[in-house]
Amino acid sequence: MKKSILVFLSILLVCTDSVMAQGTLSPTDFEKKINTLQPQLLDVRTSREYQSSHIKNALQADWLNKEQFADRTQYLDKSKPVFVYCASGGRSGEAAKWLHDKGFTDVQNLQGGLSAWKMEGRSVESVTNAAQLSVTKYAELTQTSGTVLVDFGAEWCPPCKKMEPVIKQLQTDLANKFVFVKADGGNDIEVMKNEKVTAIPTFILYKNGKEIWRKQGIVELTELKKRITE
């Protein structure tokens, strides 16, 4: 009898933990917890939807593009809360379950999605229509003497955000050793097409006007230093 009770309690505990780890929050509670917990906030809609409007500080990974979603979310911290949302809650509900199954310990979905968020009068941001970096200007920046490192990235890209402190440290450690060029992976589309950049972040290194190295994804500081100084 005691053994049966212990088994029942164990099952109940597992179920309770599962509910706590993967839940749905109203816009009010979602906003409160964003302000208090400062979780990893993830917009799982397409990049076009994201650029139209999104919650401040949200990262973006398209749930409908499974390869992209898996690639970008691998750089999130599994020990920290992840709050997800989409347009109405359907895609983000599926994404929340997927993340939970992959080992993320606390995943919360926005009930009703961004539509419900907006209907309650909560603020959103949009990506400004900044002027695109032209192919001609890109060539002018890279086809020059010396060493030029180009970073194709975006504010809303999880691995790009992870690379920010690395690039900052690189610029400190190798000051005056190279020129750094930042290309916006969400805006500078023509340059990306011309340079055959299909995913971000992508780093391209030029020396005396010639491309000598490129890599997509996370790059260690030591590797960047080696490539620039060799």
Annotated active-site residue in 95, 148, 157, 192: 157
Residue 186 has phi, psi (to 5 degrees) of -100, -5
Residues constituting the chain: 230
How far from 120 is each of 6, 115, 187, 198, CA to CA, in Å? 45, 9, 30, 37
Largest CA distance in the chain: 81
Q: Does the annotation count 160 as an active-site position?
A: yes
Cis? peptide before 39, omega within 30° of 0: no
Annotated active-site residue in 96, 160, 197, 205: 160
**Residue 132 has which token pair?**
């695109």
Q: Does the annotation count 86 as an active-site position?
A: no
> Buried (b) or exposed (e) across 19-50, using 16+ Cβ within 10 A?
eebbeebebeebbeebeeeebbbbbbbbbebb
- As a whole number of angstroms, the distance between CA 203 and CA 224 comes to 9
Q: Are 28 and 112 in contact (CB under 8 A)?
A: no
How far from 59 is each of 42, 85, 206, CA to CA, in Å? 5, 11, 29
- As a whole number of angstroms, the distance between CA 93 and CA 78 comes to 18
Annotated active-site positions, please? Answer: 157, 160
